[in-house]
Structure 1
Amino acid sequence: MSGFAHLDHVRVVYLYTRRAGREAAVELTRAGLRTLTGKLGVPEKYHETVTVAWARLVSERAAAEPGRDFTAFIDGNPRFLRKDLLEDYYSREVLFGAEARTRFVEPDQRPLGPSP
């Protein structure tokens, strides 16, 4: 989505986590991205597994590091700058398969960590 860069997505999850906690951050991210893609007229761009996996990874770290501002959070977690980070957890076949687009699919390479 033009105008909403990768780091903006990470920042939103970070802020949701700070405001509402890990579990709520995942749900707020899902709802927000669905609304955004719908309003932009591109609901097909919403990807459930990518959204939930990123939200889980970022919210887990954000919750574990309270009190840090976003710049310090990213400086301490530079892996979140990698747009391809989910490929450490998922094969491309699973991540970009039709099923993963419409419902959350657990990774097939290594676990994401605790779910909210």
Structure 2
Amino acid sequence: MSAEPEGIPRLDRIALRGLRGFGHHGVFDHERREGQEFAVDVVLGVDTRAAARSDSVTDTVHYGVLSDHLVQVVEGDPVNLIETLADRLAEVCLAHPLVSEVEVTVHKPNAPIAHPFDDVTVTILRRR
């Protein structure tokens, strides 16, 4: 007997944190020209029960393959805002049929700010 309400799939979490890529995003010319490192965290909402039963990577999200696709976006076409970058990364995650929702955080630790700071982040949540 299932503990979940009927018709509502349980969402487990697969997280990939601190994925890095070198991109040319930003509103300033020097950001576009020189580029900088960005870090990405994604937390996927996935029902992992089939993978747990089969013990097969084909029944889940292969985070190695996903990381390749995410870094391609970070290192790809420049955008002005990390909000836009986060949205593009979310689209990549949601393209996987097993992903029902995703939380994406983009870190811009070298943002052009005139004061001491640790990090600048934008976090978005997207669902199917």
Q: Tell me whether the two structures share a fold, i.e. TM-score over 0.5.
A: no
Q: Give the structure with the higher percent helix.
A: 1
**Higher RCO structure, 1 or 2 (CA under 8 Å, sep 6+):** 1
Rg: which structure is higher? Answer: 2
Q: TM-score, normalised by structure 1?
A: 0.33
Q: TM-score, normalised by structure 2?
A: 0.31
